[in-house]
Amino acid sequence: MGTIRLLDEHIANQIAAGEVVERPSSVVKELVENSIDAGSARIDVTIEEGGLQLIRVSDNGSGMEADDCEIAFQRHATSKIATSKDLFSIRTLGFRGEALPSIASVSKLECVTSSENNGLGRSIVIEGGTVRKVEETAAPRGTDIMVKELFYNTPARLKYMKTIQTELGHISDYMYRLALAHPGIAFSLKHNGNLLLQTLGNGDLLQVIAAIYGTAAGKQMLQVQAESLDYRLAGYIAKPELTRANRGGISMLVNGRYVRNFALNQALLQGYHTLLPINRFPVAVLQIEMDPALVDVNVHPAKLEVRFSKESELLQLVESEIKRLLGRQVLIPNAGKGSGDKGAYVQEQMEMERPAPADASASVSIKETAVPYKSETESRKTMPGPVQTEPVQPASAQTAPAQSPRADSAWQSPGARFAESILPGSANKPTLRQQKAAAGNFMDLLSRQDQTDRAQMPAFPQLLPIGQMHGTYLIAQNEDGLFLIDQHAAHERINYEYFFERFGNPTEASQELLVPITLEFTPSEAAVIQEKLALIEQVGVYMEAFGGNTFLMRAHPHWFPKGEEKAIAEEMCEWILSEKKGVDIARLREKSAILCSCRASIKANQSISLLEMEALIDRLAGCRNPYTCPHGRPIVVSFSTYELEKMFKRVM
């Protein structure tokens, strides 16, 4: 006699339960999904003790006929598919006929259901998979399922349950996703008598978002609506100022099903691109609709993952739509209204740039009047005096012909230095002062440089600088209110867009070095770099092995920030070495632009004149994205005139 036998249904169900019912939240998910599939308009969920004592889901859906009620708890019993062909056109959330028998095998379950409007229904009691009682009972149309003492007969599983709060966290998380996926259904969730979620079921997704993430968040959302040949996209995404510390605020809903999909999340984040601070994530709810034939939902035990057959088309749609949407917005966070995340921004900002001003008089240059600054003589008044401790100037600035030494040290020195940095790569061109003489007007010159950029720019407000605070923040105004601009972030953004453009065609700009620059690596690093030399050449950096673990950089684009060439090449290589997933030219180009812009930008705690402020704001306004630096930190915050008036109680 052989030793292989068929398992009885009871054990088979318990084994299936191991996959389907991982924790209380899985029960909630399966039961609520059944209620959704039954066409319910309202679904009420009651939980006790994190779901380990009680999970009750009652709905007003189709209910089950008396005869079906018992069958529903048998393995592979489903009303949702009939033939294998149906597997390719699934429009329901369930289809395997596994959930109810699995849940019933690891709990004490009671189900009351009626498919009629005559007040009569069926009740069934099952304990650990064994049917204890089936009887007729009074019941309204719909289904009411109570799951008590989950895992009472599987102590090993019970042991793995975390605290009540953790389990409840998982449950509410699922409930949020299901409510977001079905704004047309009125959901409620109660835990130990406390109402945790209630949605109206009026089809308004924004109301559901507000119910979950708060009304303030609801006001920060942008509506998404887009279509491609095969996909339809709807939903809401948050403006970049509303961020969270993890991806939990992202909900991808595919044909009404919440799914986890790394590539989709990445496409969304790519859409935000440099708008988000590092390690911050948006709130986003994307409802993606498609022909069910295009998505395989049968690839994960809990149906939480899916596979798309035209994935790249979908990813492209998501990314481009998010980019388009964000590109159209004026994204200046309002400093007056708290948005939860301000603290995080401010915190990060302070950690980044915390220069203690050595001398208050030298670092503050706020003009008393709001009259926009124009004359050069006046600009001298706001200069903090001689600046001997500044970093080395570009050679061309030092050799600029001086007319009047006094006027020069007051105006030209920092001005030219800043202008050099605001127009990176201009070291080989005439100094700004010379350009100014030639072109007549400094501002004209800057604005002419920008004309091409400006064509694509979103509406950035016109701002007039009033002054500077702590050598770090520019203060500006217009009729709408007061604006603070982080000068380093602004400069970084300007430089980033400049360098990004330049890295589009860097090889032509490469210049051979008279003295090559040496770079040292560890043996394993050197091996990787050796393989990447061809890639690195595509950003205009030519390196060759020089024996051992040493490489020589023989050429780099001439517009690399002066004095920073070695550091940039090193950081570029470090980045390539640290990227586990591999590097392509697009990402290397972007990273290189960020490295260069970072190194070329004025730092905080540097006083600049009003003219320079105007130039900076002007250049910023010409950027494709003038709102965040390449690391995603905000550049501008605003206080509306109305808010200021409220603060000073001029209006009530």
User: Contact residues for ligand ATP (CB under 6 A)?
Assistant: 30, 34-35, 38, 59, 61-64, 72, 77-80, 94-100, 143
* Least gap, CB of 99 to Mg ion (angstroms): 4
Which of helix, strand or coil describes residue 323? helix
- CA 153 to CA 109: how far, in whole Å? 13
The smaller minimum CB distance to ligand ATP, of residues 57 and 526, is found at: 57
* Least gap, CB of 300 to ligand ATP (angstroms): 11
- CA 536 to CA 555: how far, in whole Å? 11
The smaller minimum CB distance to Mg ion, of residues 63 and 632, is found at: 63
- CA 371 to CA 625: how far, in whole Å? 28
For residue 628, the Cα-to-chain-centroid distance in whole angstroms is: 13
Residue 151 binding: pick among ligand ATP, Mg ion, none (C-beta 5-8 Å cut-off by kind): none
The smaller minimum CB distance to ligand ATP, of residues 30 and 321, is found at: 30
Closest Cα partner for 484 from 493, 494, 492, 474? 474
* Least gap, CB of 188 to ligand ATP (angstroms): 16
* Least gap, CB of 80 to Mg ion (angstroms): 8
* Least gap, CB of 67 to ligand ATP (angstroms): 12
> Is 179 in contact with 212 (CB distance < 8 Å)?
yes
Tokens 């001398």, located at residue: 359
* Least gap, CB of 288 to ligand ATP (angstroms): 20
The smaller minimum CB distance to Mg ion, of residues 99 and 205, is found at: 99
Burial category of 380 from C-beta neighbours within 10 Å (exposed 0-12, middle 13-18, buried 19 and up): middle
* Least gap, CB of 302 to Mg ion (angstroms): 11
Cα distance between the two ends of the chain: 91
- CA 167 to CA 215: how far, in whole Å? 26
The smaller minimum CB distance to ligand ATP, of residues 117 and 246, is found at: 117
The smaller minimum CB distance to ligand ATP, of residues 43 and 283, is found at: 43
The smaller minimum CB distance to ligand ATP, of residues 44 and 612, is found at: 44
Residue 18 binding: pick among Mg ion, ligand ATP, none (C-beta 5-8 Å cut-off by kind): none
Residue 72 binding: pick among Mg ion, ligand ATP, none (C-beta 5-8 Å cut-off by kind): ligand ATP
Single-letter amino acid, residue 476: A
Angle of CA points 351, 355, 360, to nearest 5°:
140
Residues ≥6 apart with Cβ < 8 Å to 156 = none
Q: Is 531 left (phi over 0), alpha (psi -120 to 50) or beta?
A: alpha
C-alpha distances (whole Å) from 579 to each of 273, 526, 528, 572, 576 are 18, 15, 11, 11, 5
The smaller minimum CB distance to Mg ion, of residues 99 and 635, is found at: 99
Residue 176: half-sphere exposure toward Cβ, Cα within 13 Å? 21
* Least gap, CB of 147 to ligand ATP (angstroms): 12
C-alpha distances (whole Å) from 286 to each of 326, 439, 447, 617, 637 are 15, 51, 40, 35, 28
The smaller minimum CB distance to ligand ATP, of residues 201 and 218, is found at: 201
Residue 167 binding: pick among ligand ATP, Mg ion, none (C-beta 5-8 Å cut-off by kind): none
Residue 634 binding: pick among ligand ATP, Mg ion, none (C-beta 5-8 Å cut-off by kind): none
The smaller minimum CB distance to ligand ATP, of residues 30 and 614, is found at: 30
Tokens 């501008």, located at residue: 636
The smaller minimum CB distance to ligand ATP, of residues 58 and 220, is found at: 58
Phi/psi at 441 (nearest 5 deg)?
-135, 130
Q: Which of 24, 50, 61, 94 binds Mg ion (CB under 5 A)?
A: 94
The smaller minimum CB distance to ligand ATP, of residues 76 and 374, is found at: 76
* Least gap, CB of 162 to ligand ATP (angstroms): 25
- CA 248 to CA 283: how far, in whole Å? 8
Q: What share of the chain is helix, strand, coil (3-state, %, to 5)?
A: 40, 20, 35
Residue 59 binding: pick among ligand ATP, Mg ion, none (C-beta 5-8 Å cut-off by kind): ligand ATP
How many residues in the shown chain lie near Mg ion by CB under 5 A?
3
Which range in 34-42, 173-181, 343-351, 483-491 contacts Mg ion by CB under 5 A?
34-42
* Least gap, CB of 58 to ligand ATP (angstroms): 9
The smaller minimum CB distance to Mg ion, of residues 77 and 427, is found at: 77
* Least gap, CB of 160 to ligand ATP (angstroms): 22
Q: For 392-429, b where at least 16 C-beta lie within 10 A, e where not — what string?
A: ebbebbeebeeeeeeebbbbbbbbbbbbbbbbbbbbee
* Least gap, CB of 45 to ligand ATP (angstroms): 12
* Least gap, CB of 35 to ligand ATP (angstroms): 4
- CA 509 to CA 456: how far, in whole Å? 25
Residue 63 binding: pick among ligand ATP, Mg ion, none (C-beta 5-8 Å cut-off by kind): ligand ATP
Q: Which of 13, 25, 26, 34 binds Mg ion (CB under 5 A)?
A: 34
Question: Does 201 help bind Mg ion (rule: CB under 5 A)?
Answer: no
Q: Which of residues 521-580 bind Mg ion (CB under 5 A)?
A: none
Q: Residue with CB nearest ligand ATP? A: 94
Residues ≥6 apart with Cβ < 8 Å to 21 = 27, 30, 102, 103, 106, 150
Q: Which of residues 587-606 bind Mg ion (CB under 5 A)?
A: none
Residue 411: half-sphere exposure toward Cβ, Cα within 13 Å? 20
Closest Cα partner for 514 from 547, 571, 558, 567? 558
Q: Which of 99, 185, 209, 541 binds Mg ion (CB under 5 A)?
A: 99
Which range in 45-53, 87-95, 138-146, 421-429 contacts Mg ion by CB under 5 A?
87-95
Q: Give the residues lining the site for Mg ion (CB under 5 A).
A: 34, 94, 99
